[in-house]
Amino acid sequence: MKAGKPKRNPAQLPLPEVPPPPFEPTWPQAGTLAARLLDIFMRGQSQTSPEFEAITFSWRLAAVVFALRDLGWPIESHDISAPTPECPDRIIARYRLPTDIRAQAMLLRPRHG
């Protein structure tokens, strides 16, 4: 084996600190599931699919979260245990809007009236 310079893997090179993009979300259209979910998040609540379905009659929480993320909302998700008799190891997501983002959003919220 030859001695020499160690090979570098480009994936391991340090990258300069990249600042996050500015928080400039688009507000969802009123009357949509996205607007309803954002209102829930703005009140500091989190949601799971069963909770969302119970209040909206829609089982499409992940799709609504995707739509909000596409509008610039940094929705967080955390896996939680939600066992059922049929699936005792079931894991589902609990979604929320971070507190600091809610505070920024309150300053940006469109005023009506």
For residue range 26-77, list pLDDT tens digits in order.
999 999 999 999 999 999 999 999 999 999 999 999 999 999 999 999 999 9
Instruction: For residue 78, give Cα distances in angstroms to 42, 58, 91, 97.
Output: 18, 20, 10, 11
Dig out the tokens for 70 from the structure: 């596409």
With 0.85 as the threshold, say if the pTM is over it.
no
* 29-108, CATH topology level: Arc Repressor Mutant, subunit A (1.10.10)
List, for residues 11-20, the tens digit of each pLDDT value: 667 777 888 7
Q: Is the dihedral of CA 43, 72, 22, 93 positive or negative?
A: positive
78 vs 2: which has the higher pLDDT = 78
